[in-house]
């Protein structure tokens, strides 16, 4: 039987170390909503989402209450809208009307984000894909809760450089369209290489076409729990360090598995995956950078950071895999800047640069995330940064992403405040040298040789 | 059997167990196990209870126990057993 020590340990993780379930994300297929009439399409989308998700928030709260574990976010992901709207949308305004429908239904069912205003263009773009991408600035500046993502490359297909060039422009346009809110629109826009179909985390969540009609995916989080566990093994060797992370990750993930199974049973929706993640928030003690410091670095970004992050990421997966029957999504440590107080401190101390962050993305989950850059950064420079990150993902057969925010009207040395879970960020300098001619070539970068495994 | 873990944490005073147990008895909640310690004047108790016979819903019991805790000056939490079981047992 459970003993007092175990109960106290679990409850201290929750009350003192910020253990929580970061998100229950309900994936909903919109493929059966496709219609050539835009009005009917919007109506079908509204009803499908509303009917599927009306009990999501209350169920999440009920589970949270019964088990005493906070469930921070309840969210929805839908089939990439470029696929759904292709038959009906003839202009960017047509596509943006779908974003409006998603925003409206998100408000009504009470979720804080809805993902899937997306296009998958890793090899080429259809006219609908292009139209959706061009509608992103309008969609994100006229909605509050809609998140957008675009998959620009994969290990199997190579990198679609036409789309990379276009996305450099779209990121800048989105920043301009939302400049009154410190270019907040870009915080809801992410580009991927090797985007997973079952990611529960925003801004990149969408419900892939390989998925069932509805699915429950859960993302856990507990950087504070890992840090506290590591503080008890200071000075011990790497074997002890790794074992400690692994055991802690197991415990954290078990909570995610429990919540996922409960949500699945109560909503009558199949359980998809648990995303084994260490997702920070701006709250003190909820930081991945602090774990790196606990491992032995003065600041995130110091020499040794990449190695420390690599082992952290690997041990989180090793511990988590056994704790859950299905794992997926992004699974790993997230290293967003604005959402992690330790990362912000590292940037302010001059310890962490974009180049070091890029190196770190080679060994952990996702990529350049929530990084504020000067508003006068050129479109081609943004495309160049995207291309670098896509290449890392393509060659290493992993998911990589870019979510950078060119803050219009602000420069290096200034700070931008996004609020809430999105946090605040010092604006980081970008390499000033040009990549114009590289980006303007157009076409595709072929898939790497090791992708041919057939 | 429908097991719930009730934890009571706070400054020690007379009658904490009596008040909690009275509430449980009135609501047909059966106590299966109690462990309790006092560390530096702080009262720390865990009860494993069976709520099968209870007529209220879980949230109602949790709220009422929380209010009772506030009256006594301690923090009372109710959680279903599975969260601890999942985390600490393979």
Q: Give the integer Cα–Cα distance in Å for A189 and A203.
A: 6
User: Do B85 and A251 make contact, defined as CB atoms within 8 angstroms?
Assistant: no
Mean of pLDDT over chain B: 93
Helix, strand and coil in chain B, % to nearest 5: 35, 40, 25
Q: Looking at CA atoms only, how far is residue B66 from chain A in angstroms?
A: 12
Domains of chain A by range and CATH? 19-193 (3.20.70.20), 219-448 (3.20.70.20)
Residues contacting residue A180 through CB under 8 Å, at least 6 positions apart: none
How high is the pLDDT of residue A1?
80
The separation between CA A385 and the C-alpha centre of its own chain, rounded to angstroms, equals 18
Phi, psi of A152, rounded to the nearest 5 degrees: -105, -10
Q: Looking at CA atoms only, how far is residue B85 from chain A in angstroms?
A: 7
Nearest Cβ partner of B62 from A2, A65, A257?
A65
Place of tokens 């809110």: A181
pLDDT digits (tens, 9 = 90+) for B7-33: 999 998 899 999 999 999 999 999 999
pLDDT 10s per residue in chain B (90 long)?
Answer: 889 999 999 998 899 999 999 999 999 999 999 999 887 788 899 999 999 999 999 999 999 999 999 999 999 999 999 999 999 998
Q: Looking at CA atoms only, how far is residue B24 from chain A in angstroms?
A: 17
Chain B residues touching residue A4 (CB < 8 angstroms): 35, 37, 44, 46
Q: Give the integer Cα–Cα distance in Å for A329 and A317.
A: 12
Q: Which residue is closest to B32 within chain A, CA to CA? A: A1
Q: Give the integer Cα–Cα distance in Å for A264 and B38.
A: 40
Instruction: State the DSSP string of A146-206.
Output: EEEEEEEEETTTEEEHHHHHHHHHHHHHHHHHTGGGTTGGGGGEEEEES--TT--SSSS--
Q: Give the integer Cα–Cα distance in Å for A147 and A422.
A: 13
Helix, strand and coil in chain A, % to nearest 5: 50, 20, 35
pLDDT 10s per residue in chain A (454 long)?
Answer: 888 889 999 999 998 888 999 999 999 999 999 999 999 999 999 999 999 999 999 999 999 999 999 999 999 999 999 999 999 999 999 999 999 999 999 999 999 999 999 999 999 999 999 999 999 999 999 999 999 999 999 999 999 999 999 999 999 999 999 999 999 999 999 999 999 999 999 999 999 999 999 999 999 888 999 999 999 999 999 999 999 999 999 999 999 999 999 999 999 999 999 998 898 988 888 999 999 999 999 999 999 999 999 999 999 999 999 999 999 999 889 999 999 999 999 999 999 999 999 999 999 978 999 999 999 999 999 999 999 999 999 999 999 999 999 999 999 999 999 887 788 999 999 999 999 999 999 999 999 999 888 8
- How many interface pairs between A and B have CB atoms less than 8 angstroms apart? 60
How high is the pLDDT of residue A442?
93
Domain B3-88 homologous superfamily, CATH? ACT domain (3.30.70.260)
CA Rg value for chain B: 13
DSSP A186: G
Helices (H), A34-91: 38-53, 56-67, 81-85
Q: Give the integer Cα–Cα distance in Å for A171 and A189.
A: 8
Residues contacting residue A384 through CB under 8 Å, at least 6 positions apart: A168, A435, A438, A439
User: Do B84 and A10 make contact, defined as CB atoms within 8 angstroms?
Assistant: yes
Chain A residues touching residue B81 (CB < 8 angstroms): 2
Q: How many helices (H) and strands (E) does chain A have?
A: 15, 15
A17 neighbors A285 (Cβ within 8 angstroms):
yes
Q: Which residue is closest to B6 within chain A, CA to CA? A: A7
């Amino acid at each position: 039987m459970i003993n007092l020590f175990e109960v106290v340990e679990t409850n201290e993780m929750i009350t003192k170390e910020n253990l929580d379930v970061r998100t229950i994300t309900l994936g909903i297929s919109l493929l059966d909503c496709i219609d050539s009439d835009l009005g009917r399409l919007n109506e079908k989308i509204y009803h499908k989402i509303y009917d599927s998700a009306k009990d999501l928030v209350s169920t999440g709260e009920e589970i949270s209450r019964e088990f005493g574990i906070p469930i921070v976010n309840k969210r929805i992901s839908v089939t990439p809208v470029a696929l759904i709207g292709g038959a009906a949308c003839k202009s960017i305004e047509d596509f943006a009307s779908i974003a409006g429908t998603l925003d409206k239904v998100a408000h009504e069912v009470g979720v804080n984000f809805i993902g899937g205003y997306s296009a998958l263009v890793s090899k080429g773009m259809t006219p609908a894909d292009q139209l959706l991408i061009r509608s992103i600035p309008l969609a994100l500046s006229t909605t509050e809760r809609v998140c957008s993502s675009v998959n620009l490359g994969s290990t199997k297909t190579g990198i679609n450089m036409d789309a990379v060039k276009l996305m450099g422009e779209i990121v800048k346009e989105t920043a301009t369209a939302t400049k009154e809110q410190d270019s907040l629109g870009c915080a809801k826009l992410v580009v991927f290489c090797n985007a997973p179909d079952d990611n529960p985390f925003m801004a990149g969540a969408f419900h892939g076409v390989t998925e069932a009609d509805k699915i429950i995916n859960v993302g856990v989080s507990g950087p504070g729990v890992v840090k506290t566990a590591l503080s008890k093994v200071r000075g011990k060797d790497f074997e002890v360090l790794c074992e400690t992370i692994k055991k802690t990750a197991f415990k954290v993930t078990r909570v995610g598995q429990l919540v996922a199974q409960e949500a699945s049973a109560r909503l009558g929706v199949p359980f998809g995956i648990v995303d084994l993640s260490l997702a920070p928030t701006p709250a003190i003690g909820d930081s991945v950078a602090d774990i790196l410091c606990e491992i032995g670095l003065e600041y995130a970004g110091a020499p040794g950071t990449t190695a420390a992050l690599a082992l952290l990421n690997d041990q989180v997966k090793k511990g988590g895999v056994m704790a859950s029957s299905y794992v997926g999504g992004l699974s790993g440590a997230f290293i967003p800047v604005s959402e992690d107080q330790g990362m912000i401190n590292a940037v302010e101390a001059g310890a962490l640069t974009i180049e070091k962050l890029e190196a770190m993305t080679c060994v952990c989950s996702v990529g350049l995330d929530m990084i504020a850059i000067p508003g006068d950064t050129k479109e081609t420079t943004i495309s160049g940064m995207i291309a670098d990150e896509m290449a890392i993902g393509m060659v290493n057969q992993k998911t990589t992403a870019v979510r950078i925010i060119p803050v219009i009207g602000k420069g290096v040395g200034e700070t931008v405040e996004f609020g809430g879970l999105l946090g605040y960020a010092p604006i980081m300098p970008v390499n000033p040298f040009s990549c114009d001619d590289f980006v303007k070539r157009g076409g595709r970068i072929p898939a790497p040789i090791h992708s041919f495994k057939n | 059997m429908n097991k719930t873990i009730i934890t009571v944490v706070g400054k020690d005073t007379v009658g904490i167990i009596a008040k909690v147990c009275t509430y449980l008895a009135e609501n047909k909640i059966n106590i299966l196990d109690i462990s309790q310690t006092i560390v530096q004047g702080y009262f720390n108790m865990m009860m494993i209870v069976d709520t099968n016979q209870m007529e209220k819903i879980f949230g109602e019991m949790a709220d009422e126990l929380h209010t009772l805790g506030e009256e006594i000056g301690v923090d009372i939490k109710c959680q279903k057993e599975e969260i601890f079981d999942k985390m600490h047992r393979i």
